[in-house]
Amino acid sequence: MTKPDLLLVADLAPRVVDQLDQDFTLHRYCDATDKGAFLKALPEGLRFVATGGGTGCSREIIEALPALEIISSFGVGYDAVDVEAAKEHGVRVTNTPDVLNDCVAEVTMALMLALAHRLPESHAYVRAGRWENEGAMPLTAELTGATVGIIGLGRIGKAIARLAQAFSMRVVYHGRSEQAHQPFQYYDNPVDMARDVDWLVVIAPSTPQTRGIVSREVLEALGAEGRLVNVARGDLVDEEALIEALSTGTIAGAALDVFAQEPNVPEALRMQDNVVLLPHIGSATHKTRAAMGDLVVKNLRAHLRGNPVLTPVV
């Protein structure tokens, strides 16, 4: 029996591609040099798309596929998928939530520990032989007893909150609205929350309402003893204002897994001593990426077989 056609917009991991190849005839848009010509040459009736959270699926692709029924995206963030275009054309969109919650929460705490205790600098200090020549490192901050404000108390935000509590931290949060039955103080204004916390953790989705939510005003409110952690999307932080805040001592430091123009990280950030930088690896473990890939496949197979998808966005 002929397998249905699927457009592979992003070059997903071999584990995912091998599974998809069992049920679908794959068309590798991700490898095409002339994307427009590739779209025009696709067989009629193509109903399935698989993509990555960073690559997404544009309106152009959606409108070039009149029979399209589902876009299955690898990643919890789906801001690169034109969801409005998908809604207009009756296309289902899925993502891969939950399976990466614990991993991203772990990396968040690792960033906080690294920044508070100056772990990257201490590691380099020892390796360079400076300990025996220059003596002990300066004293550092710690997490115990500090207050962390979380922007975005969703699935991952709650996992971060639980780990923060294990470090005896006080947790508060900001989001679109107050969540009933949560044991944490709610702030309806990120500036007010930033003024009251030692740490500001960003883990909200990228939407028109959240882009730039960590503004110059928020950074000024966070203050000279405050530290910022971003494990969401780079565009939630005013990067130019952040660079200025770090260089002038407006805030004490930042730990970043995401950036505005990945993989291009501003030189001004890379040169700062009070910054810990990661190459967007919040969910980058074998276990978590395998689970995310499997969920991409499960959503597509469910739709193929006429069953409800597991993790619908729209």
pLDDT, one tens digit per residue, over 143-202 is 999 999 999 999 999 999 999 999 999 999 999 999 999 999 999 999 999 999 999 999
pLDDT at 1 over 80: no
Q: Mean pLDDT for the chain? A: 97
pLDDT 10s digits, 15-44: 999 999 999 999 999 999 999 999 999 999
pTM of the model: 0.94
Active site residues: 233, 262, 280
pLDDT at residue 31, as a whole number: 98
Distance CA 51, CA 264 (A): 22
